[in-house]
Structure 1
Amino acid sequence: MPATSTPPNRPRSGPRRDEAARLAVLHAADDLLVEHGFGGLTVEAIARRAGVAKQTIYRWWPSKVEILLDTLIADSEKTLPVPESGATADTVRGYLRAFARFLTRDPAGQVLLALIAHAQHHPDTAASLHERYLGPRRAREREMLARAVESGEIAPRLDLDAVLDALLGPLVYRALTGSSIPRALVDTLVEDLLLPRAT
């Protein structure tokens, strides 16, 4: 007896999502943000580009911010993983160089910058961005630095959270203002903030 199957265009109820439709929505949101900016991004446009019903999107995500966060989380894990092994100054330097490329060349980097900008005037966005993305990533970045400290490879002059702010802040600022991020900037930050001074 042949198995019955649900027609592909039948709306799903509850939290279950069709994976192909979910990915289509995330890719559409990513592309449209790059094309039109955060202000020009609408759920209606995402639905049209993804080929899904607007009601489907609202059933899965409460807002375009949450769609963009899902996009950012998925893309960051693929293109900007925080190193989980290795504990050297070069490990940190490599991560910072990858972060600079992410901010200036990767569409997902534009998503991050757009969400940071939007969060300045929208507390709900700020809270969600911190809870879902910045907080978990900061914890992994802190662990990366802690491993390097324990191995004696680096000697930060600040506590780990402050040194992360000092390392990442200039890169984000330059990207937010449309400036390039010179390779020498990353090298200088690592040398000045992490490496022990010769005596």
Structure 2
Amino acid sequence: MIQHRATRADDRAETIMRAALDVAQEVGFAKLSIEGVAARAGVGKHTVYRRWSSKGQLFLDSLLSLNGPALDYQDTGDIMADLRRQIHAAVNLLGTPPWGPLYQALLGEAQHDAAVSASLNERFIRPQAEKTVARIKAAQEQGQVAADFDLELVMSILSGPLYFQFLVAGQPLTHDYVDRVLEALFAGLGPRP
């Protein structure tokens, strides 16, 4: 009986999250409401509030439940090729509805909701950054990256232009732009004589 209840609760949560994404795509995050999501999911708003304390938390869980492609790194022995492959996959993901606009909305909400910001960092941004730093560290140990380069700084230098292009400039992220960022980064990152 307990397992049956858990399955029903999981199914209900999935229905609510799917409804949240559908409503967000239709009306935008700013007009997303718990009441609208509850109505779309066919549940009472109290059912939604029992699991999520805010629309920001609901939206975060909903977006992270989409199960996009894994943004993991291969280690082919060529750090530039491995970074390019992984970042191109991320660009492709953000360029495919519903990810791009929904992720932009989530990042915007994280600027106003400390709980959403902390959860987003813990569940998505930090793990992705740690994967990137680990891959660059392996390249550093293989002599592909200067031994004295600050890897946390590398991560900031790498992600800054991408987030700027995506969020501030409002320009599309393209493979060409990613390649130009990587070439500029590696001009200063390579091993020194």
Q: TM-score, normalised by structure 2?
A: 0.80
1:83 aligns with 2:70: no
**1:26, CA displacement in angstroms?**
1.6
Question: Counting helix residues as a fraction of each chain, which structure ranks higher?
Answer: 2
Looking at structure 2, the residues matched to 140 and 167 of structure 1 have their Cα atoms a distance apart, in angstroms, of 13
- Equivalent-residue separation in structure 1 for 2:42 and 2:129 (angstroms): 35
Please list, as runs of the form range in 1=range in 2, the aligned pairs for 1:50-129 lying within 5 A after superposition.
Answer: 50-75=41-66, 77-83=67-73, 85-88=75-78, 89-129=80-120
Separation of aligned partners in 1, 2:148 and 2:155? 11
Query: CA 1:106–1:187 in 2, change beyond 3 Å: closer, same or farther?
Result: same
- Conserved? CA contact 1:83–1:91, under 8 Å: yes
Match of 2:182 among 171, 181, 190: 190
> Sequence identity, in percent?
31
Unpaired runs of 5+ in structure 1?
Answer: none
What is the Cα deviation at residue 17 of structure 1?
6.1
Cα distance, 1:122–1:59 mapped onto 2, change above 3 Å = closer
Change in CA separation of 1:115 and 1:184 when aligned onto 2, cut-off 3 Å: same
CA RMSD for the aligned pairs?
Answer: 3.0
Query: What is the aligned length?
Result: 188
- TM-score, normalization: structure 1? 0.77
Stretches of structure 2 lacking an aligned partner (at least 5 in a row): none
Does the CA contact (< 8 Å) of 1:43 and 1:57 recur in 2? yes
Give the ranges of 4+ consecutive aligned residues of structure 1 lying more than 6 Å apart after TM superposition: none
Deviations 1:60-115 (A, max 9, x none): 1111211222223333x532422265453211111111222223324233332212
CA distance in 1, matches of 2:135, 2:157: 15
Q: Is the 8 A contact 2:56 2:116 kept in 1?
A: yes
Structure-2 change in CA distance of 1:156 and 1:34 (3 Å)? farther
Deviation at 1:156, TM superposition (A): 8.6
Per-residue deviation, 1:168: 1.9
User: Is the CA contact 1:87–1:144 (under 8 Å) kept in the aligned structure 2?
Assistant: no
**How many angstroms does 1:30 deviate by?**
1.7
